[in-house]
Amino acid sequence: MKDKIIDITLWQLLSAYLFIVILTVIVRWRGIAREKEIVIGTLRMTIQLVLAGYVLTYLFKHPHPVLTVLILALMEAFAVYNVFKRIKHELSAELRKVVAVSMIAGTLISLLLFNYVVIQFTPWYEPRYVIPIAGMIIGNAMTGVSLGVNHLVEGMEKQKDLIEAALMLGASPKAASKELVDRAFDSAILPTINSMVGMGIVFLPGMMTGQILSGISPVTAIEYQIAIMLGIAGSVAFSVIIFAQYGYRTFFNERAQLK
């Protein structure tokens, strides 16, 4: 058994769906109308992962720079779309642009640093590395930016009077929104910091668990996990700071008036 992973048979895998059956029974018993979402969620997760499995198998067998770049572009596009979907407020076209640019710029900077300074693999487009690392970096930046956008937009709505008062007292738009921008940044990076605090004690992260299960030594798995956590923190920080620095400006016009 040592260093050898147990191959899960189809029946074993199907038995894991028992958890969803239990979940469905619980929500029905409690009268919480969520059965539809649970079924859709489970189906989507299954189909998406099966498809991803086939796509990844193909990509790993036929590595090509164009394919890797294409997958990266798809991931970025999906992440940006997901941020828009997660925001409860209506976003202006200008703010949407800032979200897209900050997500793409922030994650690409981190990805370049992580892949070619920290891990240093060749060729540069090796999908076995680029795709899972990009997935983690882009996914976490997406969560961070969503939180930041929500905080900023909500703050701009709720604290409009305070911001207007600051402008009337001679504040520049930057000074008038500084506190709000700082809080949006803080709220966006806090979950990443908290997850670093609990890591290894409260929970073992998915990537590390996966590597350990597939037979890699825990020490190597931990090295990767530490590196990726730092990369994630960096990408969240880059994306959110770019968003915060440009996002607040979309609420003012060139005459320093609130739109």
Any idea how long the chain is? 259
C-beta of 96 vs 183, nearer to another protein: 183
C-beta of 167 vs 208, nearer to another protein: 167
Binding flags for another protein, 56-95, as an x/- string (CB under 8 A): ----------------------------------------
- Beta bridge partners, 203, equal 199
CA separation, residue 7 to residues 1, 57, 118, 214 (Å): 11, 17, 32, 10
The residue among 188, 184, 178, 160 whose CA lies nearest residue 258 is 160
Binding flags for another protein, 175-204, as an x/- string (CB under 8 A): xx----------------------------
In the bound complex, what is the minimum distance in angstroms from residue 59's beta carbon to another protein?
A: 52
C-beta of 176 vs 232, nearer to another protein: 176
The whole-angstrom separation of Cα 146 and Cα 244 is 12
Number of residues that bind another protein (CB under 8 A): 17
Q: What is the DSSP letter of 201?
A: T
- Beta bridge partners, 252, equal 258
Does position 15 interact with another protein (CB under 8 A)? The reply is no
C-beta of 164 vs 223, nearer to another protein: 164
CA separation, residue 29 to residues 16, 17, 35, 40 (Å): 21, 19, 11, 19
In the bound complex, what is the minimum distance in angstroms from residue 173's beta carbon to another protein?
A: 8
Q: Is the bond leading into 173 cis (omega within 30 degrees of zero)?
A: no
In the bound complex, what is the minimum distance in angstroms from residue 183's beta carbon to another protein?
A: 11
Binding to another protein (CB under 8 A) within 219-258 occurs at 255-258
Binding to another protein (CB under 8 A) within 137-176 occurs at 161-162, 164-172, 175-176
The residue among 101, 136, 98 whose CA lies nearest residue 233 is 136
Which two tokens mark 121?
A: 């693999």
In the bound complex, what is the minimum distance in angstroms from residue 114's beta carbon to another protein?
A: 38
Sites of contact with another protein (CB under 8 A): 161-162, 164-172, 175-176, 255-258
